[in-house]
Structure 1
Amino acid sequence: MQVVTLGPAGTYSHRAARAVVKLQGGSGSDDDVAFRESVTEIVAAVADEEFSRGVVPVENSIEGSVDESLDALAERDVSVVREVVSPIRHALLAQGPEFSTVASHPQALAQCREYLNEHYPDVRREAVASTARGVERAREDASVAAIGHPANAENGLERIAENIQDRDSNATRFLVVAPATERSDAGGKTSLVVYPGANYPGLLLELLSAFANRDINLSRVESRPSGRRLGDYCFHFDIEAGLYEARTQAALGEIETVCEKGWVRRLGSYDTEHVVD
């Protein structure tokens, strides 16, 4: 089984994808992982069944949700079959101690904001498509440092500093997406995308009450613009219950009534794996 994720090789998504392959019984070698340059491309490739699995970052403990992932899950019909949580340990990588630019993914730069402000306040920060792209920049240009996994300190790069993330608890949630036909009702968590198609006082309260009245805990609530018009939103819910449960079905029945002018997408139920790579 080949898994598609955010590339090029060396990203944290790459490491999470290798762990997913191992969880599926594969070797976890680099041959088992393919790359795309954006989360949108990854989700589209899985929706079109070009790949059976995709791994996308959805939330970081410091910087919060990954908006592109939420939007892609709302736009394409896929399922979520597993959640992988991985600690994120950033290193500052460069050809030497003198550099004028730090390049990395915007999330990585933000996760190390306090460290950079304290130690490199005058160094320019450059946002690139992935941490691996930042590493490539540092290998090509001695004036550029990168933020990435410590294992990327090779081929001309050295570790200038390690564990530079602003919080030791830094971790990222990755969702494993599959074609819509593989959606499951079994699992301890469920992800939903809800588009009410309406806007009136108390709308969000009605949606939340459907879960609260049935003792279903919400582990995440996020609103994202629907793209249809200004002020029109989709809601992303993660609940600590499976679709197989009667209380979940009752809550969704109530929500579908509230959203009769819109839609409710069940991304699926799944379990969580904690991996260290």
Structure 2
Amino acid sequence: MQAVTLGPAGTYSHRAARAVADDVAFRESVTAIVDSVADGTYERGVVPIENSIEGSVTESLDALTEADVAVVREIVTPIRHALLAQAESFETVASHSQALAQCRDYLEREYPDVHREAVASTARGVERAREDPTVAGIGHPANADPEDGDGVELRVLAEDIQDRSSNATRFLVVAPERERDDGGGKTSVVVYPGANYPGLLLEILESFAERDVNLSRIESRPSGERLGDYLFHIDFEAGMYEARAREAVDAVREIADDGWVTVLGSYDTEHVVS
């Protein structure tokens, strides 16, 4: 099996993807990853969905809404950020926007005058640091050594620079739509109500509460149809093999009669130490 995730080699996504497949390919965006699974190019895709400090990855939410794929697994991994550079003096810190945000307090305290540059991934920022001595990257400490043995070895200027020691990221493993499963302890759905009236969201929430189904996350995203029109991403702690889960989702479908409900899949969670 071959999996695809955010590249280049050495990203946190790459580390999570190694728990899925030994053969890992790379794309530069979450949308490209999800699309390449939907069209059958790859059997599995691994995308970041939520960080414990910075919250949801909106590109992932939107990509899962647009593509015909299934969520078949969840991987949770701790995030250990290090500051990597060729020398102690540098002018720019380059990393993924989420990594920069997760280290905001450290950067403002230790390097208030250094420019911050958002790039496609943490590994891309580390590559920039290898290429340019005026640039530092933020990534896993192991990224200081080149993956292929070639290139400049970076210095680890500081470790565990994330603002909270509990920093962790959830990754979802996506598969072709035909592999959607009802088994697992957790389910993700997308709800587009197609309406807007007082009490609408309460009705949706009550559909789960009345059946003793715990919601672990709910987030609104613009539908793209018009300003002020939203859809909801909902994770709940039950599998679709359970009657209470099916009944809750059926109740939501009745509420969203003018819209739609997509069950992305039920799955189990695996904790992976990076």
> Matched residues in 2 for 1:237 and 1:77: separation?
17
> Matched residues in 2 for 1:82 and 1:250: separation?
23
Alignment pair present for 1:164 and 2:161? yes
1:239 deviation in Å?
0.2
Alignment pair present for 1:86 and 2:83? no
**Residue 229 of structure 1: aligned partner:** 226
1:55 deviation in Å?
0.1
- Show the 5 A alignment for 1:241-252: 241-252=238-249
State which of 183, 191, 194 in structure 2 corresponds to 1:194. 191
Point out where structure 2 has 5 or more consecutive residues left out of the alignment.
146-151
> Matched residues in 1 for 2:153 and 2:12: separation?
20
- Show the 5 A alignment for 1:38-49: 38-49=29-40
Residues 183-237 of structure 1: CA deviation (Å, up to 9, x unaligned): 0000000000000111111110010000000010000000000111001111000
> Matched residues in 2 for 1:46 and 1:199: separation?
33
**Residue 219 of structure 1: aligned partner:** 216
**Residue 120 of structure 1: aligned partner:** 111
State which of 249, 270, 273 in structure 2 corresponds to 1:273. 270
**Residue 49 of structure 2: aligned partner:** 58
**Residue 239 of structure 1: aligned partner:** 236
Residues 143-165 of structure 1: CA deviation (Å, up to 9, x unaligned): 00000011111233110100000
> Matched residues in 2 for 1:166 and 1:252: separation?
37
> Matched residues in 2 for 1:214 and 1:93: separation?
50
> Matched residues in 1 for 2:182 and 2:43: separation?
18
> Matched residues in 1 for 2:253 and 2:68: separation?
18
Alignment pair present for 1:204 and 2:217? no
> Matched residues in 1 for 2:42 and 2:259: separation?
29
Q: Percent identity?
A: 74
Point out where structure 1 has 5 or more consecutive residues left out of the alignment.
22-27
Tell me which moved more, 150-159 or 116-125.
150-159
**Residue 6 of structure 1: aligned partner:** 6
Secondary structure of the residue aligned to 2:19 is helix
Tell me which moved more, 239-248 or 151-160.
151-160
Q: Aligned Cα RMSD in Å?
A: 0.6
> Matched residues in 1 for 2:36 and 2:260: separation?
23
Residues 57-87 of structure 1: CA deviation (Å, up to 9, x unaligned): 0000000000000000011111000000000
> Matched residues in 2 for 1:249 and 1:136: separation?
47
Secondary structure of the residue aligned to 1:204 is helix
> Matched residues in 1 for 2:203 and 2:44: separation?
34
1:252 deviation in Å?
1.1
Secondary structure of the residue aligned to 1:243 is coil
TM-score computed with the length of structure 2 as normaliser: 0.97
- Aligned pair count reads 268
**Residue 59 of structure 2: aligned partner:** 68
Alignment pair present for 1:17 and 2:17? yes
**Residue 88 of structure 2: aligned partner:** 97
- The AA in structure 1 aligned to 2:266 is S
- Show the 5 A alignment for 1:118-157: 118-154=109-145, 155-157=152-154
Secondary structure of the residue aligned to 1:84 is strand
> Matched residues in 2 for 1:88 and 1:258: separation?
39
1:170 deviation in Å?
0.2
TM-score computed with the length of structure 1 as normaliser: 0.96
